Amino acid sequence: MPAWEKIFEEKGHVFVDPHSDMARLATIFRAEEVNRILDVGCGTGRHLVYFSRAGFEMCGFDSSKVALDLATKWLKEEELDADTCLSRMEESFPYLDAFFDAVISIQVIHHNLMQDILSTIREVERVLKIGGYLFITVPILGPKPENPEDDWKLHQVEDGTFVPQSGPESGIPHHYFTEEELHEVFRNFNILE
């Protein structure tokens, strides 16, 4: 069973509360007349539910069928609607070009090797309207540089990317960005903060 499937099978809704910046983001989105939002790696749907409640048209995809089933159930219980589908972020997104006013991705895109992270960013660019908004969160602090292999039993597979050898996210890459690297990989975007 893939790692994310196992995590969601065992833990169910790993996150329920929306990220702390979502209320501020919803205010900005309303002021900027954002309507359609994509959640890349939507998991069990915490942001699909949050933004759907706030009146936005939501779409989301995840690589975990278990997570999507939980998201769909939650949306149904809340009598909300969102378009969800099973897809991997490093593959072509199942949406038309310039389809979204905004894209969000909370602690997701760093779970890959850099080559696949860059593919994800290219797909975000493709589906986001010109002048659209992208809100992402990624870790910028990595394991202790003195001996990363001792921290969480991590194995370094490329610069900045480590794979835990044990624990719930065993086998899942974790890329730790530097600030300079973030500016480089998102160079086609205007960074607001």
- 63-83 tens-digit pLDDT: 999 999 999 999 999 999 999
Q: Both tokens of residue 116?
A: 């696949």
State the pLDDT at residue 143: 54
- Tokens standing for 164? 């835990």
Distance CA 175, CA 114 (A): 7
Beta bridge partners of 103: 38, 134
Q: What is the pLDDT of residue 1?
A: 42
Kindly state the average pLDDT of the residues 1-16.
71
* Long-range interactions of 20-28: CB distance < 8 A, separation 24+: 21/135, 21/137, 22/47, 22/50, 22/51, 25/104, 25/135, 26/50, 26/51, 26/54, 26/56, 28/133
- Is 0.75 surpassed by the pTM of this model? yes
The hierarchical CATH code for the domain 3-139 is 3.40.50.150
Q: Annotate 110-148 with DSSP letters as a single string.
A: TSS-HHHHHHHHHHHHHHEEEEEEEEEE-----S-TT-G
User: pLDDT for 115-173, tens place per residue?
Assistant: 999 999 999 999 999 999 999 999 876 555 455 445 568 889 999 999 988 878 888 99
Distance CA 4, CA 67 (A): 8
- Between the CA of residue 77 and those of 167, 168, 193, what are the distances in Å? 32, 28, 35
Residue length of the chain: 193
192 confidence band (pLDDT: 50, 70, 90): confident
